[in-house]
Every structure is written in C-alpha cells, then in structure tokens.
C-alpha cells in the first residue's frame, strides 16, 4: 500500500530558484527517507531523517519532519538543471520495517 503522498505531483522552476516538495504519511514511523530518480534509472538515496529529528541538512538539501502532522518537506536550494528528476519520500513503518514509497514529485529545472 502507498502511504506517502507527495505534493506537488509536478514542479517546474528556473535554475537558481529553490524547490520545495512535501510528503504526508499515515502511520507511525521509524524514519523517513528521500530518494531521487533520474529518468529510467534506479533510485538514489538522498537523506534520512529519524523520527526524533526535526530538521536535517545535506549540502543544498534541507529536510524537515513534523511527526505531529505526519509530514515532511524537502527543500533544494539554488537548484541546477542537473536536479531535474523525480523525488520520492519513503517511510519506514514501525511495525514491519518495510519502506513505503509515495508517488513522487517530478521536478524540472529549466536552465
């Protein structure tokens, strides 16, 4: 079953702008992970945030987690054309340990 829901489904911005993607989920989690997928390729892990963390940074990426609202956001600052990809959130279910993926946000960064 798909737990995470990303919002928006698609996003188009100019190079240099910031991109924000949101993810909502339904059950309690151990952690939440964000992945990137370039067209026709496998998923690449970007960042993991634990359920007891509220914010995490990695380079131009900033992830927040609000467990009371069951939501997370991924911010990409100073976007580049190479950031064009689909971005997925995945929640690590507390009961099963399985990763549940959302439908993804397709990001297009125009040069």
Q: Tell me if 104 sits within 8 A of 38, measured CB to CB.
A: no
18 vs 58, which CB is nearer to another protein? 58
33-39-40-44 Cα dihedral, nearest 10 degrees: -30
CB 70 within 8 Å of CB 24? yes
Smallest gap from Cβ 47 to another protein, in A, equals 9
Site residues (vs another protein, CB under 8 A)? 1-2, 30-31, 33, 35, 40-45, 48, 50, 88, 90, 92, 94-99, 101-104
Residue 2 Cβ, how far from another protein at the closest point, in Å?
A: 5
């Amino acid at each position: 079953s798909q737990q995470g829901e990303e919002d928006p489904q698609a996003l188009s911005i100019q190079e240099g702008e910031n991109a924000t993607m949101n993810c909502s989920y339904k059950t309690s989690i151990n952690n939440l992970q964000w992945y990137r997928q370039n067209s026709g390729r496998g998923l690449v892990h970007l960042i993991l945030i634990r359920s007891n963390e509220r914010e995490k940074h990695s380079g131009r990426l900033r992830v927040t987690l609000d467990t009371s609202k069951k939501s997370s956001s991924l911010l990409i600052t100073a976007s580049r054309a190479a950031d064009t990809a689909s971005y997925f959130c995945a929640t690590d279910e507390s009961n099963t340990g399985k990763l549940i993926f959302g439908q993804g946000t397709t990001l297009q960064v125009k040069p």
